[in-house]
Amino acid sequence: MDDFSTGRIDNIRHLLRYDTFSFVRHDVIASLDIPVNEIYNLACPASPPHYQADPIHTMKTCVFGSLNLLELATRHQARIFQASTSEIYGDPQVHPQPENYWGNVNSFGPRSCYDEGKRSAETLFRDFHAQYGVDIRIARIFNTYGPRMRPDDGRVVSNFIVQALKGQDITVYGDGSQTRSFCYVADLIEGFIRLMGNETTIHTPVNLGNPAEFTVRELAEKVITMTGSSSHVVYQPLPIDDPRQRRPDITVAKHELGWEPSVALADGLESTIAYFERQLVRPNSELFEVA
């Protein structure tokens, strides 16, 4: 199910030919009732330019969307997964960030619609589990990248790759010393599946991300090298509330799920760069069309 506010039909086109796959175009803010036994809730724009474009809709997606899906899970006794975020931790004063860190989050800033929306969603999940016994699973996702990201996604990996491939200046906000931890999408999905499996009953948040930590400037230099680009790095002012450091403590995921990422940044960037090269040669003209 998707409303294509940021998604693309081309990402699932290869699945539409299967009788076992069905697609519903729907905004999760509106209520729904369909038979389910598992729900993966990844609804919400995840990049700052997209979630800040309509902050009220972002908050509604996090809160009303989660409420609708939790009520659906309650009716059908379904297991439900919540894609939470490392933004829960805000601009952290504890490094790396374990799940028991409460965070340092601004409730009154341009990022608040996403940060506080996701925090509120976690609260709803916790309360539905406590009050109705709903089987919940919550993953706090750290920076993820990989093929099928939009060229205009607005996050650092896609921005740098697209700028490098076009020979444009690489835009680094701040002095580039802020750090991020980049998890390749295949590793992340494996974490989702393990968290939702019958072998575990973790009803508290679990960090999923790659603990390898890089500065934003290091990422820019790596992308320039790997693309063979003539781009130069230029520096712009740091956005409001942009976190200075971000790195997951994945001890819980290791011990409880037997999970840790296996794809190194260089390997993940290689396949992601190849994907964007194809996109720039053959731009997707079917972004929002679905029968």
- Distance between CA atoms of residues 241 and 97, nearest Å: 17
Q: What pLDDT does residue 132 have?
A: 98
Is 97 within 8 Å of 247 (Cβ atoms)? yes
- Distance between CA atoms of residues 146 and 158, nearest Å: 9
Q: What pLDDT does residue 290 have?
A: 35
Please tell me which residue in 51, 89, 114, 184 is annotated as part of the active site: 114
Start-to-end Cα distance in the chain: 14
**CATH label of the domain that carries residue 205:** 3.40.50.720
- Is residue 290 a part of any domain in this protein? no
- Is residue 26 a part of any domain in this protein? yes
Range(s) of the domain holding residue 213: 9-281
pTM over 0.85, yes/no: yes
Tens-binned pLDDT, residue by residue, of the chain (291 aa) = 999 999 999 999 999 999 999 999 999 999 999 999 999 999 999 999 999 999 999 999 999 999 999 999 999 999 999 999 999 999 999 999 999 999 999 999 999 999 999 999 999 999 999 999 999 999 999 999 999 999 999 999 999 999 999 999 999 999 999 999 999 999 999 999 999 999 989 999 999 999 999 999 999 999 999 999 999 999 999 999 999 999 999 999 999 999 999 999 999 999 999 999 998 876 554 433 333
- Is residue 138 a part of any domain in this protein? yes
Q: What pLDDT does residue 218 have?
A: 98
- Distance of CA 105 to CAs 10, 207, 240, Å? 36, 17, 12
Left, alpha or beta for 146 (phi > 0: left; psi -120 to 50: alpha)?
Answer: left
* Annotated catalytic residue 114: yes
- Is residue 288 a part of any domain in this protein? no
Q: What pLDDT does residue 283 have?
A: 56
- Is residue 70 a part of any domain in this protein? yes
- Is residue 287 a part of any domain in this protein? no
Total domain count for the chain?
1
- Distance of CA 112 to CAs 95, 116, 193, 194, Å? 21, 5, 29, 30
Q: What pLDDT does residue 281 have?
A: 76
What does the block give as tokens for 286? 């079917």
User: DSSP letters along 193-214, please?
Assistant: HHHTSTT----S-EEES---EE
What does the block give as tokens for 59? 């908050």
- Is residue 291 a part of any domain in this protein? no
Q: What pLDDT does residue 280 have?
A: 86
Pair type for strands 136-141 and 144-145: unpaired
Cα-Cα-Cα-Cα dihedral of 269, 271, 276, 278, to 10°? Answer: 160
- Is residue 1 a part of any domain in this protein? no
Helices 265-281 & 156-165, crossing angle to 10 degrees? 60
